[in-house]
């Protein structure tokens, strides 16, 4: 049976041009009517596509037409239907963030890469860290901290010197960002079903923001992070471009 394809593109001119060219070759449909979503852009646009259309439950096949394309396949417009037939699925489970602000509001969001906390001013953040309700660090003095999925472990987490996690493992990375005290603490690898609580100890003097992928919440006092029990998304990759293999290779990069 012929797959129904929806083609989505970032605002970049090259991505828009590629979308128009594919539209001339294929009979495309809106995302809600599609069997597969084809995303043209970089990793940022892929995350945007997952946030906007992940609830549809459609697999997403990305082609790189942006700056960073770790979650994307190479852009080749020819034989797209054949590539989709041969593509291998990778199932991702996002993180759920629940952030409570200084005003008492509660904000919830999903993160496919990471949930990060960052100081908002020149003052270092003071955080208390709980895992499954138990205090593991009474006070972390730092620029921030993040919880990363395996798929997101090669992104901001890696830049913060966190571990690269093999895809398919049921773990997440808890990584400090520029930790000052405890000076030797480098983070932890936790079970994926662990609930991580991050409490801001002095939110008025040392305000902190929380970000789930690109959704930022300012002036948080507490953030709870856990793996979603209900939501999953499926990415499709060319056999020679599988995400798991690329994450493995990333661990040997200099």
Q: Which residue has the tokens 């090669």?
A: 154
Please identify which of the residues 43, 78, 82, 238 carries the catalytic annotation.
43
Whole-angstrom CA distances from 73 to 51, 63, 87, 214, 238 are: 19, 5, 10, 22, 7
Catalytic, 143? Answer: no
Alpha helices (H) along 139-196: 156-159
Alpha carbon distance 211, 109 (integer Å)? 9
Residue 93 and residue 107: Cα distance in Å, rounded?
20
Q: Cα(77)–Cα(182) distance, rounded to whole angstroms?
A: 51
Catalytic positions, written as ranges: 43
């Amino acid at each position: 049976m012929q797959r129904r394809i929806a083609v989505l593109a970032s605002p970049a001119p090259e991505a828009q041009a590629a979308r128009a060219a594919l539209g001339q070759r294929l009979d495309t449909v809106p995302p809600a009517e599609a069997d597969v979503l084809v995303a043209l852009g970089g990793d940022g646009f892929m995350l945007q596509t997952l946030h906007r259309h992940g609830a549809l439950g459609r697999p997403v096949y990305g082609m790189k037409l942006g700056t960073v394309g770790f979650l994307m396949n190479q852009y080749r417009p020819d034989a797209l239907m054949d590539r989709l037939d041969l593509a291998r699925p990778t199932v991702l489970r996002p993180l759920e963030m629940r952030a409570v602000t200084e005003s008492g509001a509660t904000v919830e969001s999903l993160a496919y890469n990471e949930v990060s906390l960052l100081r908002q001013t020149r003052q270092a953040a003071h955080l208390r860290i709980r895992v499954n309700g138990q205090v593991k660090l009474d006070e972390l003095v730092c620029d921030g901290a993040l919880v990363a999925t395996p798929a997101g472990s090669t992104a901001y987490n890696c830049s913060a010197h966190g571990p690269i996690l093999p895809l398919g493992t049921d773990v997440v990375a808890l990584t400090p960002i520029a930790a000052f005290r405890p000076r030797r603490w480098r983070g932890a690898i936790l079970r994926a079903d662990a609930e991580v609580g991050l409490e801001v100890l002095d939110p008025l003097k040392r305000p902190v923001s929380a970000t789930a992928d690109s959704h930022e919440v300012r002036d948080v006092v507490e953030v709870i992070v856990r793996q979603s029990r209900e939501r999953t998304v499926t990415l499709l990759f060319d056999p020679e471009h599988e995400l798991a293999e690329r994450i493995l290779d990333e661990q040997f990069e200099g």
